[in-house]
Structure 1
Amino acid sequence: MTARVGIPCSLLYFLYYPTWKTFFNELGAQVIPSGNTTREMLDLGVKEALADACVPIKLYFGHVQALIGRVDYLFIPRVVCLNKETTYCPKFLGLPDMIRHSFKKIPPLIDVRIDVREGCNALAKAYQQAGLVLGATRGAIALACRKAMAVERRFFSLLQEGWQPLEAMQILNTGIRPQKQKGRLVFAVLGYPYLVYDQYISVGLLGRLKKMGVEVITVENLPPRALYRQNDHLDKRLFWTLGDLVLRAAHYFFRHTRIDGIIHLTAFGCGPDSLVGKFLEMAAHEHQTVPFMSLSIDEHSGEAGIATRLEAFVDMVCRKKEVCL
């Protein structure tokens, strides 16, 4: 019988789902995603998660709940470090434990630890452990891992071409590239991928901007080399991986004259963002020629408030740039 592996469509799903899906499919498993975020998922997550958890974690709990009873395994890796320098949020590190102790009846977790600081083969070993849970041979696991890494390279190449993760996933599945629409304004949208690209929790931020004639560039659209050269004026890198990337991208965009405005999307109650947000405000103060706005969202955020602020910001930039959309 084919094993069914469930993958919650939240957190690192937006960056690594093609990799994970390819890996498990190559081992003969059926991958079942939890699907697009809904109000019901968020309500379930709020009910099950700790009260002081940020909204992305609460949402992840809701996606897990949506998979219970539908799959044989849940893939919830303990992602610690992927670049040998910075680590992910502590809640990422403890995610398998939080899930395991919050739900009474859940399928077995594939909760391999991924920390590339443990050696040059650490990533391959993590995937090997995941494959062994499904009873695959080491040879089959090695082949599946190579194919998954090849898909990951193609996926990130599409992101750097300017596609958003969901668009890149569609291109990988169909091979068809939709026509891009140029906007009269170009905004950089900064934030963690699980906030920016989740259409429900972000209240359709990217879609709203595109409807207003704004072309959007995000952190994931930038080449790694460009990001690595930023923040040279800071004493050291930020400790948290995603926060470090957001700050580096901000400095890149502030120095990039093609950007008409920058929006920072953050989650209320996010610990790392309390520091990142302050650094962004300092950078915005140093580059006052680039309009900057910060949007904070939580489980109570409504469409009307977000839409009003976006429209006002776009209108302000239009008047400043003397552009009529």
Structure 2
Amino acid sequence: MNILPWHKGNWEELFTVTEKLPHALVLYGPCNSGIDIFTLEASKSLVCRNHNETEVYCNTCQDCNWFDSNSHPDIFFVGATRIDEGTSSNNISIDLIRELKVFFELTPHQQHGKKVAVIFDAHRMNLSSSNALLKILEEPPGESIIILTTSDLSKLLPTIKSRSRLISFSNPNLEEAKEYLGVANKQELLPFINLYAGNPLALLNDHLNYPLLAEIIHCLQQGKKFDSSNINPNWFVNGFPWLINLIQKWAYEILLSKLTHQQFYFPAEQSKIADLASMANISNLLRFQKKLNDLKLYASSPINKEINLDIIFIDYRKIFI
């Protein structure tokens, strides 16, 4: 079973008595918290014919084989795991919910089996698709389970939430995150864990950015001596907001070190940040933070990123005396 260690309590809550499973579940929590992993494991367990209290799924029956090949007749995925053909937007359309209704009208392929539908990122449903789903929930088909996942519970209709069991998911604590990276043989990534809000999955998913992070951090370490000619066009590859967010955290780290002699986001750069903090003018540093906050509001707009970044680093150099 591929359940993340910090989700074992959620699994026990859901599967202690499978006969009492509701017709609808809403699994909600932060992005990259592993909800989709949990949902796939739960879906496979629900359709496995050999599922029991001691063995989540057998991994050998026809149902498990069908599931692994994404061809199980009693599974219907909408969203992140299966690309919705014919959709041109990020919204979940009413047509997909109509397909879901047709899916539930068919009987399960095995006697007493369950039909399972999963709507990933259910907050992407518009009002029409939400109301169509609500009609299904008001008269749920027998032997069926609908699982909705979301990172924004507030965007689901209250009537959908009231007809579902809500299960909250969280990110791991710092010790759990460190242990997970250790098991994954990625201990070298520990210095970056706070940069990703303690989320090891987000950290691992972003592994291709480590050389880029190292390059940008090396330039930020130059402080007053930073040369704008060192700005690399690749810095924009993840979008301007991503770059602003990184610079913002670096500036916050200098501020934190200046005021408290502590650091949070970049523990591996403790000595260098302390040196920069000792040279930083607190008024200029606070002004720089405010400019970053203001820029972040329109960083996703069609602006000249290169010019704005040049201005940022002119102001960055002014921090240091």
TM-score greater than 0.5 by the shorter chain? no
Give the structure with the larger strand fraction.
1
TM-score class normalised by the smaller sequence:
under 0.3
Give the structure with the larger helix fraction.
2
Larger radius of gyration: 2
TM (norm. structure 2) is: 0.28
